[in-house]
Amino acid sequence: MITEYTDCTELMRLIAEKKIKPSVMRKYLRDQGIILTASNAEAFSKDVYTIFLGGQEMERVTRMIVYEGNYEKSTLINARMKNPPSDGDILDFFSDGINSLRSGILPGYTIENPTRNGNMLTVQLSYRRKLPGKNKLIQEETRHVKIMVRKKSDLRVSFDIRQPSSKDADKAIELLQKVVGSGDSAEALLSHVNIERLTNVNKVEFFDRLSNYVFSNWKLKTVTGLTVKRALGRDDEDDDAEITEEDDSEGALTGISQAVLNGSGLRSNEFVQNSLKQGYYITAMEYRYSCTKEAGEFIVAINAKGDDLRVDIEKSYYEEDGRLYMQPFPKGLQDEIIQLFQQAANDVFYALIDLQKKAKSGD
């Protein structure tokens, strides 16, 4: 329900002062069939002032600015039931388990009622986190986490955890662990996409295969970041080495991009070869993709530094008049990107696990 209407004079001021990004408003108007050609924020705001926007239109603009102004970050986990649930299906098992925690005593958590839509169960989780410092006004803050449980088979699900930071994801994992149980009494087992389970060769192969994964709506343009980690058990300190476009003075990323795009593989690159010789392995990569069905690009980070794999959208761009403007994609498109990259990571990871099992058994 609309309780307050932002008039066109106020909207003009917000755009002129860049409190609202002109690119956000420009895209909204373009989607409505209105093309404005003003080259700066002040001139653009005056053009917008002449357009009559009703209450529903202003509500959509507000929602787009407030709720779609950031980038989605996610953590991927899987789970497998030991036996088929005695009552209902696998999503009913998790729904009942979460509701049981809601009705019990779970200090520090607030859990909303799980909602089911087909083969997906959605849970909203919030908790209070203490902040460092002694300022009582901002002593605590409320953190929000969204968990989407997707049914993969009668015995398997995947958890897509959307969180502001990895610490927030840890809270969601704690909750899921309580649902499945522990020890011999556990009815299900959490399965982590942890590249430490892969051999040194397959740790590189994991990112090689992800780099060559084919998506119908996006095409890999370049590699924008790479992180390598020193293997455990060496005498040297356990540290990370990260390369981004900004600090790539020696052109390592350019060579890596060429190796990926021409299909020769990461191990053919000199920097990767030297890193492997020094006992490092790849733990994260950032890829820049161009959209094939609309004018835009995005950067996605595949991060496997911890026990669980993260898929984060780092940046996205819309093209207009031959120029790229940085702006978060709509939540629906961000969600599609994350889901498909999670599926790709799952496919690649478990294919390599199966290869390792077969090699170990001698098949």
The pLDDT score that the predictor gives to residue 246 is 60
* Domain end marker among 28, 45, 67: 67
Least confident of 212-216, 306-310, 330-334: 330-334
Number of domains in the chain: 3
Give percent above pLDDT 90 in the chain: 38
Token pair 């932002």 in the structure block, residue: 6
Mean per-residue pLDDT for 67-84? 86
Whether residues 263 and 344 share a domain: the answer is yes
Lowest mean pLDDT among 6-15, 60-69, 220-229, 339-348: 60-69
Residue 39 lies in a domain: yes
pLDDT computed for residue 183 by the predictor:
84
Same domain, 77 and 51: no
Specify the pLDDT at position 137: 44
Domain span at 48: 8-67
- The verdict on 50 and 114 lying in the same domain is no
The residue out of 170, 192, 214 marking a domain boundary is 192
- Greatest mean pLDDT among 10-19, 227-236, 264-273, 329-338 lies in 329-338
What integer is the mean pLDDT of 80-89?
87
**100 is a domain residue:** yes
Amino acid 249: pLDDT = 54
Residue where one domain finishes, among candidates 192, 227, 242: 192
Lowest pLDDT segment from 51-60, 187-196, 278-287: 51-60
With a pLDDT cut of 70, the percent of the chain lying above it is: 85
Do 227 and 285 reside in the same domain of the chain? yes
Looking at the structure, tell me whether residues 167 and 202 fall in a common domain.
Answer: no
Q: Is the pLDDT score of 218 beyond 60?
A: yes
Are 175 and 266 in the same domain? no
Element (H, E) at 260: helix 252-261
Does residue 300 surpass a pLDDT of 90? yes
Q: Indicate whether 12 pLDDT > 60.
A: yes
Assess whether 211 and 349 both reside in one domain.
yes
1 domain-assigned: no
**Same domain for 89 and 19?**
no
Instruction: Evaluate if residue 133 carries a pLDDT over 60.
Output: no
pLDDT at 136 over 50: no
In a domain, 3, yes or no: no
- Tell whether 239 and 354 lie within a shared domain: yes
pLDDT value for 2:
47
The pLDDT assigned to 3 comes to: 52
**Residue 5: what pLDDT?**
54
Residues 113 and 260 in one domain: no
213 and 337 together in one domain: yes
Mean pLDDT of 309-336: 86
| pLDDT of amino acid 205 | 92
Q: Is residue 357 domain-shared with residue 228, that is, in the same domain?
A: yes
Amino acid 236: pLDDT: 47
Decide if pLDDT at 188 tops 90. Answer: yes
Q: What pLDDT score does 156 carry?
A: 95
Q: What is the mean pLDDT of the chain?
A: 83
pLDDT of residue 219: 94
pLDDT, position 245 = 64
- What's the CATH code of the domain at 78? 3.30.310
